Amino acid sequence: MAPQTEFKRGSAELMVLAAIEHRARHGYEIAKLIDDRSGGVLCFHIASLYPMLYRMERRGWIEGKWIEKAGQRKRRYYRLKPEGRKVLAHQRSTWSELLNALQRVAGLEPTR
């Protein structure tokens, strides 16, 4: 498997948790937000997103709730639970250390 694919797979939970950090979102909205924030570089296929959401829910990191809005079909919205906030903070720290190390070792310059 290509390194880029491995890198994306390993960061998936971090991206999903960050996408619902400030408010509850439904699956398609989570995928769209990640795509938008990454400038189209990181795309989630819904087929892989929902199993991940279900796993995270079983772990107690997030909570899903069915909500029906006027004129829209019923959707499951996901929000962070306290344990999910702890996991997000830990993953941010871990990824930050890894990215800083990669920059130092490989001579990568952060883009702004």
Each of the 112 residues of the chain gets a pLDDT tens digit; together they read 555 565 666 689 999 999 999 999 999 999 999 999 999 988 888 888 999 999 999 999 999 999 988 888 899 999 999 999 999 999 999 999 988 998 889 988 766 5
CATH architecture for segment(s) 3-106: Orthogonal Bundle (1.10)
CA atoms within 13 A on the CB side of 93: 6
CB neighbours of 52 closer than 8 A, spacing ≥ 6? 12, 13, 16
pTM confidence score: 0.84
Q: What is the DSSP letter of 107?
A: T
Q: Domain residue spans in the chain?
A: 3-106
